Structure 1
């Protein structure tokens, strides 16, 4: 029993150390290739992925935070209102601006447009180091151009680079389009996910990335 507790303690220490290392980087996406950072969509638009801490956005480009919140509200408010969670704009905004938040922003410089974003974090989840995808949102004009798929591939590259065990996300059961998208990207029900027969309004999906 002592040996098992010691092993568990060592595993948790490793998880916390890896998360701390990833969060200490000024740019954890430095591992991404040029092709992962800048890519052409199916409609021949060139999209650039840029990474920011939420604190940097608040200081330098607060309008991007406002745009991201508005996009979440436009895309997700009805889904939240249709389930037991309901929509709480203040709580969502607070979540999006917590100090641990990182953002991948998809920019279309040729058209001076913001195409989409991903809110992610390096965290210890159920004792395991993971990249947790809190939000993935794309503007209606840019949907079906593989931007979401490219962003998820970037998260997986980050997870592998910083030795996170997996990429994890929450998806609402009523959002079948999102469920289909994540499954097409190779995600499946995580062991921590509520069972299908349970009354919870969401599932937890994941994809292993490291060891």
Structure 2
């Protein structure tokens, strides 16, 4: 009779130890997220990334908070999203647009705003290229030509930077600016001890999918519908979740798809 009782006591102790480990890990993850959000200007740690002067383009970056966006900035973001994303979303766009309007001003939303440099040469963005830009900045300050909306969240018990939006005017695309912004986000993630950068891409947005997967080497995450349930959920969904991980634990949870080996 003593032996089963001893096993029960041993099992109870193991469960308590396990619970303690789980709680400690959760507290550690929460602290990582809290610390990342406490920094109001993530650009301050990366002075070289405050400006981009390459490929005939001259712009500078500034940080922003979702709950402090000006009315003109909100309108600009809504317009640029509609111009860039209405086609990839197709019939789903009216519903998705409402969701994005709420996401845009969330207290958790962090922004990198891209503005044309005041000392940019006239040839940097020609008149013809300006006319190609579907969205026109109507607010104060130098013209805005794009933005990144990102947040710090937890996926699969892993702190990640999730990019909600990376949107650029057509007149500044194809000049390396998108890659520059993604490199900045990855640096912000690493500095804040974040395990991965993640984002969602519409399957219909072929150019964006090629950009992230071919140029930046992002992979389809284990939590993407096509990995979770390839034959049912994955086939029904019009998007993929991509990621790039920075440590072994994050890679195991968010990149490595064990089902693929069977």
TM-score (norm 1): 0.89
**Structure 1 position 204 matched with structure 2 position 225:** no
Query: In the alignment, what sits opposite 1:54?
Result: 66
Indicate whether 1:101 and 2:138 are aligned.
no
Distance in 2 of aligned mates of 1:102 and 1:146? 22
- Counterpart of 1:142 in structure 2 is 172
Runs of 4+ in structure 1 deviating by more than 4 angstroms, as ranges, are none
Kindly report which structure 2 residues correspond to 1:34-73, keeping only aligned pairs within 5 A, or say none.
34-43=47-56, 45-57=57-69, 61-73=70-82
Which residue matches 1:187?
A: 218
Displacement after TM superposition at 1:70 (Å): 0.6
Residues 68-102 of structure 1: CA distance to partner in whole angstroms, max 9, x if unpaired?
A: 111001100121125xx443232221111111101
Whether 1:29 aligns to 2:43 is yes
TM-score when normalising by structure 2: 0.73
Task: Give RMSD over aligned pairs.
Answer: 1.8
Q: Alpha-carbon deviation of 1:210?
A: 4.9
Q: Which 5+ residue runs of structure 1 have no aligned equivalent?
A: none
Query: Are residue 159 (structure 1) and residue 189 (structure 2) matched?
Result: yes
Q: CA deviation at 1:56?
A: 2.5
Q: 5+ residue gaps in structure 2?
A: 1-13, 121-141, 249-262
Match of 1:91 in 2: 99
Once the two structures are TM-superposed, the CA of residue 47 in structure 1 deviates from its matched residue by 1.4
User: What does 1:8-19 correspond to in 2, within 5 Å?
Assistant: 8-19=22-33
Contact 2:52–2:177 (CA under 8 A) maintained in structure 1: no
Q: Quickly say closer, same or farther: Cα 1:192–1:5, change in 2 above 3 A.
A: farther
3-state secondary structure, aligned to 1:7: helix
Higher relative contact order (CA 8 A, sep 6+): 1
**How many residues are paired up?**
204
1:177 is aligned to: 207
Normalized per residue, the structure richer in strand is 1
SS at match of 1:87: helix
Alpha-carbon distance change, 36 to 48 in structure 1, aligned in 2, over 3 angstroms:
same
SS in 1 for 2:225: coil
Tell me, yes or no, if the aligned pair for 1:189 and 1:204 is still in contact at 8 Å: yes
Matches of 1:137 and 1:10, distance apart in 2: 38
Three-state SS of the structure 2 residue aligned to 1:8 is helix
**C-alpha distance in 2, partners of 1:5/1:169?**
31
